[in-house]
Amino acid sequence: MNQLPIIITGIHIDLTEAIHTIVHEKMAKLFQHNTRIVQIRVELTQDSNKLDHKTFMAQGIVELPGPNLIVTTDSDDLYRAIDDLELQLLRKLRQRARMARSKRKQPAY
């Protein structure tokens, strides 16, 4: 299997093998949509400031030529936050590709 450049960091979270597997599966889909991705950094954070209420944040930084894509999501469930992160990053990649196509179709004056 080809090693994809995916860096996973956990803040106040123990990163288990299951979390690593899920994040790698989700972020590998991004490489199928854009082959020019240099690397993806995923930061998972647990915030437990409120009593008996944990909030999980997932931040994804997709490094590619041009401006990087940065997305942050939060949820009560870590896996839901990872799913939301994947969907938002896919949406941003599609939006960037659509903008590049529309700029190519503009007539030169």
For domain 6-105, give the fold: Double Stranded RNA Binding Domain (3.30.160)
Distance separating the N- and C-terminal Cα atoms of the chain: 48
Q: How far apart are CA 23 and CA 97, in angstroms?
A: 23
pTM of the shown model: 0.85
Q: 10-14, 39-43, 48-52, 94-98: lowest mean pLDDT where?
A: 48-52
Q: 1-10, 44-53, 75-84: lowest mean pLDDT where?
A: 44-53
* pLDDT at residue 89 tops 80: yes
* Residue at 105: amino acid letter: K
* Pairing label, strands 39-47, 6-11: parallel
Across 27-41, average pLDDT? 91
* pLDDT at residue 104 tops 80: no
Say which DSSP state 27 is in: H
